[in-house]
Amino acid sequence: MANIMEQLAFSLSLVAPIFFIISLGYIFKRLKWTNANFNDVASRLVFNVALPAMLFLSIATADHNFSQATEFLAFSVVMTVIFFLFCIASTKLALKGNPDHGVLIQGSFRANTAIIGIAYVENAYGSQGLALAAIYVAVITVIYNIQAVICLSPRSAGSKLQSTKTIFINLAKNPLIIAIALGVVVSLLNITLPPVIVDTGNYLSRIALPLALLCTGGSLDFRMMREEKKPTWFAASNKLMVAPFAFTLIGYLYGFRGLELGILFFMNAAPVAAASYAMTQAAGANTTLSANIIGLTTLFSSVTVCVGSLVLKVLGLI
């Protein structure tokens, strides 16, 4: 009994800080201490400076053999593609005739790995976990964007080709991917960073996740969740229940344990990424439904992570 209580305390310690900071972001917006302009400016600061600094340092200064992660990353890519195909099939079967299949499919598979997933992994494993998680984010972000183009783009071949080209251009300019790639280069070449760069990066790193989570809370609008409840709950169930269960179970059967299995669980139990809203808007699709899915999964992700991490910890798998 005492052991179970210890594991429960561990699980709560993972989700409580993240849940409370997101809640504070929402409360600050309601109190008008922050507004849409603050969220926009702060999000740009996080995305372009603070989060890249954190991911770069976590890789460049980590004692981790990334060549040994090839199998884990290949498995993650294959599973992400398979789950995407599952989301297409299940959405078309469960919600026949719904005009928003693309939005629902994206809301079923696209996780907020770069902010909330990273936060879960950091709470669970510290800097060692962050290094491998950052590589996971870089690889899976590319896959997510390709899949988003497939499910959201117009049916004409020319439109899809143009969308795909735009996505790859944006990925090449993505500060997170650039920072992760530079971190891998520094790590592989065994370059020792000057202390001033490490110290400066550490200062920026400390603001990355708290500010990102505050912005996540500040962007939530639960009034939108009154509309289209059935499709919203369907996509949220795929994201918060089916995805973490499938990735973790198949990862376990494949042979992953500890850090790798934990990353598979935490990354796929993260809520839907806010980037899915921007993709939906750019495609001219149902932005209200997209916002609903983001809000609902953000609200309940802590429950999934708490329960799931408790089970995995009690079983001694993470």
**How confident is the prediction along the chain (318 residues), in pLDDT tens digits per residue?**
556 777 777 778 878 888 888 889 889 989 999 888 888 888 888 888 888 888 888 888 877 666 678 899 999 999 999 999 999 999 999 888 888 899 999 999 999 998 899 989 988 888 778 888 988 988 898 899 888 888 887 554 455 556 667 767 777 778 888 888 898 888 888 888 888 998 998 898 888 888 888 888 887 777 766 666 788 999 999 999 999 999 999 999 999 999 999 999 999 999 998 778 777 877 778 888 888 898 889 889 989 999 999 999 888 888
DSSP state of 64: -
Q: How far apart are CA 44 and CA 119, in angstroms?
A: 18
C-alpha distances in Å from residue 31, one per residue of 19, 28, 42, 109, 218? 18, 5, 18, 33, 11
Q: How far is CA 157 from CA 132, 143, 271, in A?
A: 36, 20, 31
First to last CA, the chain: 19
For the chain, list the domains and their CATH numbers. Answer: 4-315 (1.20.1530.20)
Question: What tokens does 7 get?
Answer: 């594991």
Q: Are 296 and 232 in contact (CB under 8 A)?
A: yes
DSSP class of residue 155 equals S
